[in-house]
Amino acid sequence: MPAFEYKALDQSGGAVSGVIDADSAKDARSKLRVQQIFPIEIRETEKGISLSSRVSTKNLFKRVGVRDVAVVTRQLATLLRAGLPLVRALQAIEDQLAESALRPHIIEVREDVNRGLSLADAIEKHKKVFSALYVNMVRAGESAGALDTILERLATFSEKTLALQNKVRSAMVYPIFMSVIAVVAVGILLVVVVPTITKIFVETHQKLPTPTLVLLTVSAFMKHYWWIMLAGIAGLGVLFKRARRGKRTKLFFDRLALRIPVFGQLTRKMAVSRFARTLSILTASGVPILKAMGIVKTIVNNEVLSNAIDEAAEAVGGGKSISEPLAKSGVFPPIVTHMIAVGEASGRLEEMLQSVADAYDSEVENSVAALISLLEPVMIVVMGGVVGFIVFAILMPIFEMNQMVK
């Protein structure tokens, strides 16, 4: 579809300009008038390339992040609350996105809404950008006539989720960085330093102690076959990724992830927090409970918890409570199922789920902090042990040579 650049006046008489996709100049004028924009000058862009195609090409290697969607959601809620029509609000957001990878998606959403589609149906076409959670909440908001309120909830939900993820990632940066430095340092010692120092031992044909022989063997292997190690690590990574695609293997690895000491509890807490916060915001927004649980089971990122939620959904469909099957699964902590039961009995399920999510977010932060404080001394001890072994293996033949000289 061709694109047309325009200069126009808005309802208040202010000058506006931009680009719009249309079949012809006449069609472009009609679309602008629908948006309460009155064109003064309109002309087809160079070679008639559509705006969405041009922007998509520019952003071919860019990805739309959660933060981008959260910011746009907050802005759209603000514009709608201020009384702007939906199409005008989308146009305003489109104009300010500039080179953002999200812009072509907003352009297409605006065009679809302009043609008469609901916002939920329009964004549902962009599943890589807008999740099922997002689409269903928007649909519920449109049905209830409270789209601005629902969008604000969505923005808050996205911001809280992103904030927790960023805290966990930030906390893990230091130990990961130190691990990389340690591996590189040991690699340099084994590949460069050790062969140089131990060359004299080989030339003297001295009988070497076992630690030195082990060190020389490891050093020689790493020096000549380092590429095999890298290929092996990459191969294991690919095999692991493929194995997780199968339902049985994914279930096995996810069950294992929950049983790993320290890390298993952290994984469980993050999944429970995600479950509680998502179910809370969906039910509070008017999404039917069965549909909400169907969405929630896809975002916990753990097959064990997903199966437990699926069984709970079946029980709810049969007229039972949510808390009972979740408690029987043994996957969810007892405090969570008790709070859900209290929420169901008192009619305050959304509030209880929100409390669970807030509590577990705090626990995740504390657990990550405790984990980091534990990892740092462990890394120092391991690194010291490796370097100590290298030094010991090098010094042992030297001491023996001194004894022989005496």
Q: Say if residue 16's pLDDT is above 80.
A: no
Q: Residue 253's domain is classified under what CATH number?
A: 1.20.81.30
Residue 145 has φ and ψ, to the nearest 5°, of 70, 25
Q: Say if residue 252's pLDDT is above 80.
A: yes
Three-class SS of residue 43? strand
Q: Residue 11's domain is classified under what CATH number?
A: 3.10.20
> Please, are residues 106 and 94 in contact by the beta-carbon 8 Å criterion?
yes
Residue type, 49: I
In the 8-state DSSP scheme, what is residue 47? G
- Of 135, 136, 128, 108, which is closest to residue 50 (Cα–Cα)? 108
Among 73-77, 161-165, 270-274, 309-313, which stretch is predicted with the lowest mean pLDDT? Answer: 161-165
Tokens of 80: 């709608």
- For residue 76, give the H/E element and its range: helix 66-81
Is residue 31, in this structure, part of any structural domain at all? yes
In the 8-state DSSP scheme, what is residue 44? E
> Please, are residues 193 and 111 in contact by the beta-carbon 8 Å criterion?
no
pLDDT (tens digit per residue) in 197-235: 777 776 776 677 888 888 888 888 888 887 888 888 888
Q: Say if residue 52's pLDDT is above 70.
A: no
Tokens of 66: 């959660």
> Please, are residues 223 and 195 in contact by the beta-carbon 8 Å criterion?
yes
Listed in sequence order, the residues at least 6 apart from 19 whose beta carbon sits closer than 8 Å to its beta carbon are 3, 4, 5, 6, 45, 51
How far, in Å, CA of 352 to CA of 338, rounded? Answer: 10
Q: Say if residue 319's pLDDT is above 60.
A: yes
pLDDT: which is higher, 49 or 30: 30
pLDDT (tens digit per residue) in 148-160: 888 888 888 888 8
Q: How confident is the model at residue 9 (pLDDT cuts 50, 70, 90)?
A: confident
The pTM (predicted TM-score) of the whole model is 0.69
Q: What is the pLDDT of residue 404?
A: 59
> Please, are residues 121 and 135 in contact by the beta-carbon 8 Å criterion?
no
Is residue 252, in this structure, part of any structural domain at all? yes
Q: What is the mean pLDDT of residues 85-112?
A: 84
In the 8-state DSSP scheme, what is residue 318? T
Which whole-number Å values give the CA distances from 276 to 318, 332, 334, 352, in the listed order? 22, 11, 14, 9
Is residue 105, in this structure, part of any structural domain at all? no
Residue type, 251: L
Is residue 300, in this structure, part of any structural domain at all? yes
Residue type, 320: K
- Of 157-166, 269-278, 397-406, highest mean pLDDT: 269-278
Q: What is the mean pLDDT of residues 248-260?
A: 86
Is residue 249, in this structure, part of any structural domain at all? yes
Q: How confident is the model at residue 265 (pLDDT cuts 50, 70, 90)?
A: confident
Q: What is the pLDDT of residue 403?
A: 65
Is residue 5, in this structure, part of any structural domain at all? yes
Length of the chain, in residues: 406
How far, in Å, CA of 301 to CA of 303, rounded? Answer: 7
Q: What is the pLDDT of residue 62?
A: 60
Is residue 56, in this structure, part of any structural domain at all? no
State how many domains the chain has.
2
Q: What is the pLDDT of residue 228?
A: 85
Q: Say if residue 48's pLDDT is above 50.
A: no
Side-by-side strand order, sheet with 38-44: 15-21, 3-9, 38-44
Q: Say if residue 325's pLDDT is above 60.
A: yes
Same domain, 194 and 342: yes
Helix, strand, coil shares, percent, the chain, to 5: 75, 5, 20
Give residue 37's domain range.
1-49
> Please, are residues 45 and 3 in contact by the beta-carbon 8 Å criterion?
yes
Is residue 254, in this structure, part of any structural domain at all? yes
Whole-number percent of the chain with pLDDT over 90:
1
